[in-house]
Structures are given as C-alpha cells and as structure tokens.
Amino acid sequence: MESVLEFSKLNGWKSYYYTLSNKGELQKYSHNKAKQTILVNNQTEYGQNKDNKLSFWITSQDKTYKFRSQEEPIVDSWCQAFKKAGAKQVQDNSKLFIGFTHLRRRSLVDQTSTTFSPVAHQPSTPTTTSDTKIKSLSKLLSLRKNPTRSAGNTPISNQTSNPLTSSQILEPLNIIVPTIQEQQDQDVKVQITNHTNKTLKLETNSAPTFDSPLSPRYNQNSSIVADFGSGGIKAGLSGRDKPHTIIDTLVGRPREKQSMLTPTSTSSTSTAQQLSTDKIYMGKQVQAMRGILSLSRPIQRGLVSDWDDMEHLYHHVLDQYANDERYLLMTEPPHNIRKHREKQCMIMFETFRSPGYYVTGGSALSLYATGRVSGLVVDVGEGVSSCVPIYQGCAISHASNKINVAGGDLNHYLSDLLAQEHPAWKGHAGSTSLIEVVRDIKENVCRVKNKNDFDLGQLKQEYTLPDGTVLSMNENCIYQCAEALFDTSLIGVESPGLPKLCYQSVFSCDVDLRRVLVENVIMAGGSTLMKGFDIRLGSEIDAMTPAGVKCHITSPHDRQYVQWTGGSILASLSEFHRMAISKQEYEEIGPQCV
C-alpha cells in the first residue's frame, strides 16, 4: 500500500510514527512498534493561523485529528519546497516532527523537474553527541536572535511566498529532527512527483525508529542535575527527559522516644528499634512513617532556613549519583541571597568534592526547556510565586517580582475549604499526612474560573480518598482555591495578584522588550496545572496591555519538572564543563567565585 504521508509526533518525549496511505488508512506506530490503524477519508490540509503557527488536520468520518504547534515554528527551506511541490502537510518544530529524518543531510532542490533527491550517503568522521547538540543549540539560539535564514535572508514569516533556487542548501536543525539508524538510512528514498494529486511518497524497507532528544544514549558523560525547591526535590542525570529522584523537601524526626521503646506489637519491633537508632528520615521513609514523625522543611519561601537539615538532604539525594567525574548543576530561586550561594558552593566542593559546579536561575532553565531564549517565566512554586523577564538568556533582575503566595498556601486554603464542607475533614485539616491528598485534589480537580464558565452553582465533582471515602466537592471548593493567586486578600495577604505581578514585571523593562515578553509567557510549577489557569492569566494580562499586543502563554506538559528538564538540556552540552566552576578555580578563589 502506497504511503502518501509519513510523519512523527513527539508527545511527552515519546515518539509516535504515523503513515497515511493513498487509500485513506492512517496508521500509528508507538515507540515499541505497536501499530494502531485508523480509517479516514484521506482529507488532509495544512494551515497557518494568525500567530504564525502551523496546524495540520486529518479529517475522518466521525472526527478530526488535529496536530498543532505548541512552540514557535522553525521553518526551513526544505519545508517550503514540499509546499511548493504540492505536499499536503508540512510541519517542523519542537513538538511535531515530519518523518523524513534523512533530510538532516545536505540536499538540493531542482525546481525544473519538481523532484527532490537526497545527496548520496557519505561516511563522515565521527563526532560526539554533545558537540552535535551544542552546534544545533547554537543554531537555535541564533535563529531566535535573528529571525532570518541564510537562504535569501528571508524572514520566517514571509518564506512561504518566496521561490527557492537550486543553489539553496537545505539543512534542518538537528536538535529538532528525530534520528534514524544508519543501516536504515541507506534504504530510504524520497521523491516528490508532479502528478495530478501531487503526493509525497516515502519508500523504506523498515519503519524508522525515533528516540527522544534527551535519550540516555545521547549523553556519554552525564552530569548531575538537581532542583531543590521549597516543596519538592528533583534530581537525576543530564540527558534524561524527567528526573529519576522526586521527593518532598521534608526531614522527619521521631516524635516521642517513649512510644518507640515500647512497641505494641511484634510487627512494630523492627520499626521501633530503627527509630531509636536513626534520628533523621527523608524521602520514601518520610512517606511511610508520616504518622510517627515530626516533619520540618529546611527551605522556606525559596530560601534555606536550616543548613544542617539541608546537608542531610544533599547527602540523601546526591550521594547516589556523585562520582569523581560528574559535574553538578543546581538551580536557585530568582531572589537568592549571595551568602546562601557561597554557602552552597562551599558545601558542594568541600563536602561532596564535586569536580565542577554550576548554579543558575530556575526561570532561565524553564525558558530553555521550551526552546526559547526570551520571554516572561511565571513560576508558581511551593513557597514563592515569581515573574522573571528574560531576554536573550539573561534575567532582568530589576524587573523580577515575587509574592509569598504559592502552592503551599493554596494547599492550606483548600484544606480549610474542605473542612467547611465536610466536618469530618476538620480534625485533619492541618495534618501533614493529607498533604499529598490535598495537592492531588488541587492539581487534578480544582479549576480556575473564567468568564466562559456558566452555571457554576450546579457543578459538583467527586474525589475518592486513599481509604475509599468519597468526597463530594461543590463549586466553592473547585473554583475558590485558585482565586487566592489572583486575589491574595482571600488568605489575608496584602500583595498584588499574579496578573498584576506580571504586568509590573513587563512594564519595568525597556519599551522595546515588552511585546516580546508578553507574547512569550511560560508557565512553570505544579500549581499551574489547574485547568483554565493559563486562559485566566492570559485574559487578565490582555486586559492590562495596550491594544494590538496579544498575550501568548505556553504551558509545558510536565511543567512541574520544567526547571529540571531545562537543566538537563543545558548540562548535556559540551560547553557545560567550560561554563561550570572547576575544583581548581574554587581552590584559588574560594566561595566568592560563584
């Protein structure tokens, strides 16, 4: 069966390969080569909406499959060649990939015959993956800084109307194109034919495989990436798409020694003996023994308040990854104190003997994770909500703002709302054992009220607790929780709401930067997972900005990990070791080098 269209989609770093035949059969291959067939009418078309983002539709008898860019398009000349030849779909950006992976090599277009032929495969000298990544990232950054292409010096937004010449070299960015095995690469033949239907045909002996750009095989010399926040800790090795270690920023100590020494049953004897010898518990142990531990958080409102407990957490998290060769990348809050930076640097070099250390703002990493170098990062963490404008990779510190209303405050507020509706909850409203339950309700049940929501008084939703108890939640619990971020007076805090905070940050910047910031707002933090959060924030920002400037918000899928993901990308580059502080540099200068 002839395939008229083949492409792949990267969803949460999982690749899916699609084929659309000339008989209208759409097939989907997952990363494990499982096939799913969907029958369609073979009605396909592409479009470009007002915000210059490409969209692609496959219309079937009962529904329409739509694949739309979530990022700024990176359109290369070969995409325009496909359009000119009459291809039904062209898409190339960080969220949706076209399936012609061999086009990463240099190729030429002969417009007279309307035929595309890839240059024959030439063996090249091997290059390290990190070198390839930094070159690709450099191209990406240069593209953001100067939105023109070398071929004809034509702006991206106007490339579709300009003809191509045979001398133009077509080379998409490697960082956004999936890979293909070399043995398969030689079997691939691509051709654009000028038939009446002008279909695009891909012939290959075997379906190409698609790997995540952050697949472990891309990073032979991994570094440690750690994000220590007020509410949670994310850590792992660079080159992964998600952190391996995810724990609460909690330190537990036994409550009463008397009860530990006199266990009530044989099954608790081992636990009692353990508690009588080990005084500090972290990670999974805290989760298992919450009821008999006194818990404390060594990070309050983004800043370390107890360095002794913090060192215990450092050991608990970093010891499993550390060795004599792995560099360390750590994040820091937007308003970190210099003495805290120096203290942390000293601990990493003198206690952990790290060969290299690098610390950077988490907001910039959130931006890098979305493929941008300029934008406004809105981060709603556990202890602090911040708005940080970033231009060309540099945070504008004087325009950065924060408020001490964040996810932890929403958790307590939601717990109070639940206690009002359910008297049985009242006795446990402040219990640390229910913190995970409240957080899960907030992120998966609670919503943000928007102007398009009607009949809210009739809205009810049920939530099943771990013990099987069913909570019936009305409109007050579902919608009222998030309002504290927009009206802080609800929880007794005199601070501007989040939209006003964003407005102040943007208009504290130079007038030439304001449009770029408003049009590139990035969501970060687990509390932004509430449904409708981005719509509400965008509409309130639009109400405060001048006419003609439209707020565009990007909400990454795993935005609770977006800072760590950005750090994973940065630490994967070969330039990272030159950016970091080396052990020798620390010994010469001291903690002041940070």
**Percent of the chain scoring above 90 in pLDDT:** 36
Confidence of residue 167 (pLDDT cuts 50, 70, 90): very low
- The mean pLDDT of 239-243, rounded to a whole number, is 89
Point out the least confidently predicted range of 16-30, 108-122, 356-370: 108-122
- Name 460's bridge partners: 474
Task: Provide φ and ψ at 193, rounded to 5°.
Answer: -105, 150
pLDDT band at 349 (very low <50, low <70, confident <90, very high): very high
Query: At 454, is the pLDDT very low, low, confident or very high (cuts 50, 70, 90)?
Result: low
Query: Which residues, 6 or more positions from 454, have their beta carbon under 8 angstroms from its beta carbon?
Result: none
Q: What is the mean pLDDT of residues 472-493?
A: 89
**Dihedral of alpha carbons 527, 400, 52, 49, sign:** positive
Would the pLDDT of 27 be above 70?
Answer: no
> Residue 455: which pLDDT band, with cuts at 50, 70 and 90?
low
Of 12-16, 540-544, 586-590, least confident by mean pLDDT is 12-16
Mean pLDDT, the chain, whole residue set: 68
Q: Is the dihedral of CA 167, 81, 26, 47 positive or negative?
A: positive
Handedness of CA 574, 575, 576, 582 (dihedral sign): positive
**Does pLDDT of 369 surpass 50?**
yes
Q: At residue 374, does pLDDT exceed 80?
A: yes
Widest distance between CA atoms in the chain: 90
Q: For residue range 198-211, list pLDDT tens digits in order.
A: 333 333 233 333 33
pLDDT digits (tens, 9 = 90+) for 395-435: 999 999 999 999 999 999 988 888 888 776 765 555 556 77
389: confidence class by pLDDT, cuts 50, 70, 90: very high
Instruction: Specify the pLDDT at position 427.
Output: 55
444, with CB counted inside 10 A (0-12, 13-18, 19+), is: exposed
Residue pLDDT, tens place only, 552-563: 999 998 899 999
Q: How far apart are CA 346 and CA 326, in angstroms?
A: 17
If we measure between CA atoms, which residue out of 583, 571, 586 comes closest to residue 224? 571
Question: Helix crossing, 498-506 with 533-544: angle to 10°?
Answer: 50
* pLDDT recorded at residue 313: 95
Please tell me the number of Cα atoms within 13 Å of 388 on its side-chain side: 26
Give the whole-angstrom CA distance, residue 459 versus residue 447.
11
Q: Highest mean pLDDT range out of 37-51, 75-89, 308-322? A: 308-322
Most confident among 91-100, 169-178, 187-196, 387-396 (mean pLDDT): 387-396
Highest mean pLDDT among 28-37, 73-82, 515-524: 515-524
pLDDT at 431: 57
pLDDT at 326: 92
pLDDT category, 450, cuts 50, 70, 90? confident
Residue 528, pLDDT score = 92
Give the lowest-confidence range in 18-27, 188-197, 219-228.
Answer: 188-197
| pLDDT at 283 exceeding the cut of 60 | yes
* Predicted confidence (pLDDT) at residue 498 exceeds the cutoff of 80: yes
Q: What is the mean pLDDT of residues 176-191?
A: 31
- pLDDT score recorded for residue 433: 60
Least confident of 141-145, 307-311, 470-474, 476-480: 141-145
Geometric angle at alpha carbon 309, from 306 and 314, rounded to 5° = 115
Are the C-beta atoms of residues 412 and 557 closer than 8 Å to each other?
A: no
| CB neighbour class for 427 (10 Å; exposed up to 12, middle 13-18, buried from 19) | exposed
Q: For domain 407-554, give the CATH superfamily.
A: ATPase, substrate binding domain, subdomain 4 (3.90.640.10)
* Strand locations in 422-580 (E): 460-464, 470-474, 521-524, 553-554
Query: Which phi and psi angles does 49 have, rounded to 5°?
Result: -85, -175
Across 42-51, 277-286, 401-410, the highest mean pLDDT is recorded for 401-410
Say yes or no to pLDDT of 155 above 80: no
Q: 510 vs 79, which has greater pLDDT?
A: 510
pLDDT for 257 = 52
Q: Exposure of 532 by Cβ count < 10 A (0-12 exposed, 13-18 middle, 19+ buried)?
A: middle
- Given a cut of 70, whether residue 229 has pLDDT beyond it is yes
pLDDT digits (tens, 9 = 90+) for 53-105: 444 444 444 444 444 443 333 333 333 433 433 333 433 333 333 332 222 22
- pLDDT at residue 571 greater than cutoff 70: yes
Higher-confidence position of 113 and 55 = 55
Confidence (pLDDT) at 138: 46
Question: What 8-state DSSP symbol labels residue 160?
Answer: G
Predicted confidence band of residue 109 (pLDDT cuts 50, 70, 90):
very low
What's the rounded mean pLDDT across residues 167-184? 28
Name the percent of the chain lying above pLDDT 70.
56
Query: What is the DSSP secondary-structure string of 64-107?
Result: EEEEE-SS-----HHHHHHHHTT-S----SSSEEES-GGGGS-E
**Per-residue confidence (pLDDT) for residue 59, from 0 to 100:** 44
Provide the residue ranges of all domains of the chain, joining segments of one domain with +.
Answer: 3-213, 252-293, 407-554
